[in-house]
Amino acid sequence: MYEALFSVLKRLNPEFTHHLGMLVVRCAGTRLGTLLLRSQKALSPAMRVATLGLNFESPIGLAAGFDKNAVAIRGFHTLGFGHVEVGTVTPLSQPGNEKPRLFRLPDDFALINRMGFNNDGVEAVAARLKKVRTAGGNLPVIGVNIGKNKATPQEKAGDDYVACAAALAPYADYLVVNVSSPNTPGLRGLQERAFLEPILSRVLDHAGDTPVLVKIAPDLSDEAIAEVVELVCDLGLAGIVATNTTISREGLRASPADVAAMGEGGLSGKPLSERSLEVLSVIRHTLPREYCVISVGGVFTGEDAQGLLAQGATLVQAYTGFVYRGPFFARKVLEEMGGSR
């Protein structure tokens, strides 16, 4: 059914479709939506994951970038996600990059985006998270992905991350320091140890008991990934989120002319499957199992998720798979993993 609907939706502007989808998800989080969409199948206790000092009802989560402003957490939980990572959140609200900035590559089951951390700012997001926590009820594990404002110079980036950490840590189950988006000028340069170490140290000082992870790019060399792993261990971070989108355009089925016309941005979806598995392998080569690794990139099926978990991922996140497979993506993946009964 969703395949037929998607054949219509894909003719519409991708960002408009995203906002339309978010309205549907928000409705799913209402009392009526929860009642109507309640799963008839129980989730197997075998799907539970204990990590970060938390209990996840399943290893399948929603990657950052979909619910940037923490407006649909309950809805995504109703649809089957065991954890939801909101953001990326910056200290000040910002509109992001100029439109168009989101593109579909249906032949590749991929997306290209150059959104640019468009979000309502830390005060608004913190207020929403506080409201969600105060209301209580059945919630997923909530992660918050934090970044710097586009106008903030590289040498002041640490101030932005600290501001976000201090404001959001009281309401987040875990924090993710995002230094790997390709859509904020200079951001990926912060992955170098000379810049990254002081940023992470300061975030840790302001996060309190909230676990802190760092999100890295798939375009890092294996040597650079190993350096990040070393830093994570040296500082005592909780783990790594691997990976963000890629700037690579290799091996795409879409015509080079069409891809070139879309311009710059991060590529997500099926084309990242192989590299995400490679990065995970590099990380687990030296990172002890007690550290959490959240694997992201190319997750469309239960088999994809199980492959990453078998390679050493603690948890798995998806974004593009949700777009292409539809609102019940998480439930389908869990069923394919044998997690529903």
| CA dist., res. 272 & res. 108, Å (int) | 10
Catalytic residue chosen out of the listed positions 7, 44, 180, 181: 181
- Write out the DSSP string of 127-146: HHHHHHHHH-SS--EEEEEE
- Here the tokens at position 32 are 């009526």
- DSSP label at 246? B
Q: Which residues of 297-331 are buried (b: 16+ CB within 10 A; e: fewer)?
A: bbbbbbebbbbbbebebbbbbbbbbbbbbbbbbbb
Beta strands at 54-56 and 292-296: parallel, antiparallel or unpaired: unpaired
- Here the tokens at position 97 are 């990059």
Edge to edge, what strands does the sheet with 102-105 contain?
A: 102-105, 110-113, 266-269
Residue at token pair 């970060």: 52
281 assigned to active site: no
Indicate the angle between helix axes 193-207 and 157-168, nearest 10 degrees.
20
Helix (H, G, I), strand (E, B) or coil at 113: strand
Helix then strand then coil, in percent of the chain rounded to 5, is 45, 20, 35
- Here the tokens at position 317 are 């996140």
Q: Which residues of 88-97 are buried (b: 16+ CB within 10 A; e: fewer)?
A: bbbbebbebb
- The length of the chain in residues reads 341
Task: Tell me how far the alpha carbon of residue 297 is from its chain's centroid.
Answer: 9
Active site residues: 181
